[in-house]
Chains A and B, each alone.
Chain A
């Protein structure tokens, strides 16, 4: 099969196979017992998008609560402080543990990674299915906890409040514990797959950068998540048996809890951003029709980001009661960890420079990422400076910072990836005009919501507060309106994506002119991905035209 890249028009495909992975076997049981990474990826996609919807509803409710300082809507008080605490806690917990951590790795990477490697499946397909079921169990436990008393501790479960408050804290903790193992299994699978199931001829530096990013993520998943597990187990023990480790009334150390918690949760935010960056590293070369600038730099920066992420967790604890020496050390290391991210930004820009840029929806998301992640990342540096952090910690400045990196970064990249691989996964193209419109809505809504919060935070508005001084009222109003624009954007996206599913399966094999192996399969791929083992003959992102003479 040879493709010539003289135009961006989809090239002539081989005849569409009768059976693809979606219809190869039928019936719900075939889906529930599948070990096909593509089906598991699709099930995960449905799951994480549902979680995103639930978390998003909570977010809209949080913003609605803050619309007026008297918490009235049409003259009626509709929310209490206790309810508000639960809303922001559940928004955080659902978004972090049910949506964003599994989002790219478990759904998109599950689907794409083996295809990109030229493999027929991941290393451990049954472990993959087990990972999905653990996610489902964790999700059910979390939802049950919400119904049976919910949680009001913040998603960080700080002690001693979390060890003494009422509510279904223990159940939620156990749900997160189960979700952690889901994440670990995914990580184990991807490390093993990347090491052992590469196509012949595909050395480490022939890998698409998406793989490097997912591999680095998987390393973090394997090494960091177990510590979350033990942290939650210890928290549950403290709550149920009063073992005296975290609760100061019985001789414990609440700062110790924070050390335990953030040792996982800081690397966790790199579990969130690295896959997003991995997607961007695919989108930018493809839609600039230019090879990646500084391939090795980006590859090395992915792994170094993963490793460096483990030594900066104390920057979440500058005012918690750590020693002065610890705060200084963590602050210095935090500045170090910003460097690999910066390397990637410049390499992406270098790739776009003098490229043949086309602004399809995935590229709109990629460019949005560059702008929003730049802001998010830079504001992280502000927070890493000790003296500045004393003023800004626990204000809306922090809230804005992490929403810029997590939402403006990962979520934007995730949906860019969803659009990019939509034709491959579903066999249909979505409507480009609606795609770009929704992207614009989300971009505008996002900035309206969160840029405001930077200002509000630096003026002193604390986070997680139900009541606020009247001076902050206008900012809250603007921010809440922004949240409605975001909601509208995602509602639009859901509408046209679902509408695309009613069309016949007529997407081309390679609509974007991508150079990685997944684009050599049919859209959607057959059950076993490749009939024969593909052998790599060309580096990824090689957009040089084929030699004319043959």
Chain B
């Protein structure tokens, strides 16, 4: 019984060489871009290029574009649920009203007698965690 008849289209060495070249070019772009400051765009651009590279590796080197959809669904599910984890944690952390910086103990103020401490600013000492 012949095996692997599912692969009616098979990528040849040529496709793989082109894929490698594309990946190397994208690497060059992302490194070059890191020398330019796009402000808050830095993260977005870098991760976008990384995602493009990852997709190319998955589709071509890992053969996802020729395989049955179930394998792609499994791969995507992994990333999807990771994204959910990331998203909800960020949503929580970004909407908390904790004072920043979190880690610094209040500065030791050597105040002369009779002078009051300046208002606010200083974070509380390492807050004890909620006991559960």
Q: Which residues of A contact B (CB under 8 A)?
A: 154, 156, 158-161, 195, 219, 223-224, 227, 244, 248-251, 253-256, 259, 263, 310-311, 313-314, 319-326, 329-330, 394
**B95 at the binding interface (Cβ < 8 Å):** yes
B111 touches A (CB below 8 Å): no
Q: How far is the CA of A154 from the CA of B102 in the complex (A)?
A: 27
| B108 interface residue per 8 A CB criterion | no
Name the one of B89, B95, B129 contacting A324, with C-beta atoms under 8 angstroms.
B95
Q: Which of the 9-residue segments B6-14, B40-48, B80-88 touches chain A?
A: B80-88
* Chain A interface, >50% SS class: helix
Bound CA span A227–B91, Å: 19
A156-B88 in contact given A248-B127, A321-B96 (Cβ < 8 Å) = no
- Contact B126 A249, beta carbon cutoff 8 Å: yes
Check if B78 is an interface residue, CB within 8 A of chain A: yes
Residue of B nearest to A154 (CB): B132
Nearest CB in chain B: distance from A319 CB, A: 6
Contact call A320/B95, Cβ cutoff below 8 A: no
A156→B132 contact, CB < 8 A: yes
Q: Does B103 contact A (CB under 8 A)?
A: yes
B37 within 8 A of A: no
Apart from A160-B128, A323-B95, A330-B88: 8 A-B pairs, beta carbons within 8 A: A158-B129, A223-B81, A253-B102, A254-B129, A313-B88, A321-B96, A323-B97, A326-B88
B96 touches A223 (CB 8 A): no
User: Once bound together, how far apart are the Cα atoms of A394 and B94, in whole Å?
Assistant: 26
Sort A-B residue pairs by CB-CB distance and give the 8 closest, nearest first.
A251-B103, A254-B129, A323-B95, A326-B92, A323-B96, A325-B95, A248-B126, A249-B126
A-B contact pairs, 14 of them (CB 8 A): A159-B129, A160-B128, A223-B78, A248-B126, A256-B93, A320-B132, A321-B96, A322-B96, A323-B91, A323-B92, A323-B95, A323-B97, A325-B92, A326-B91
B79 CB to nearest chain A CB (Å): 11
Chain A residues lying within 8 Å of B95, measured Cβ to Cβ, are 323-326
B109 within 8 A of A: no
Most buried by A among B78, B81, B95: B81
